[in-house]
Structure 1
């Protein structure tokens, strides 16, 4: 029977070296997570970027409405303005 060069200590079925690795990874993960929790400045914090964002959003909205009208998703009919007494 051979004696291992390093004694193997097991805690809850996990070898000591493996448990050290898991602890190290958990601490590393926690430190990276807390580093990303700091507040960052919003991407559109100044006025020129806000104007550009609003202009782009308006263009996207107009294109979407035009596309819906073109495919017939938006009705061009007007409502008669009340219940139809002869409907049923």
Structure 2
């Protein structure tokens, strides 16, 4: 089992990579933080939401579903170190 701090770092890395993939022109600032959330639509289809916040303001947001979702996650998992 991974140490909790290592797991937190991995999750933050995953979120950072997701934001970089979703928003290629985004340059992280010192007050930026990222969010990554996957859930299901009412009809049962998976959807992933990626956001970048600067302080309390959301500056980027993407909702990824359908064929784009598999492409997004495939690309993301290739980028994140284990």
Question: Highest Rg: 1 or 2?
Answer: 1
Query: TM-score, length-normalised on structure 1?
Result: 0.26
Considering Cα pairs closer than 8 Å and 6+ residues apart, tell me whether 1 or 2 has the greater RCO. Answer: 2
Give the helix-richer structure, 1 or 2.
Answer: 1
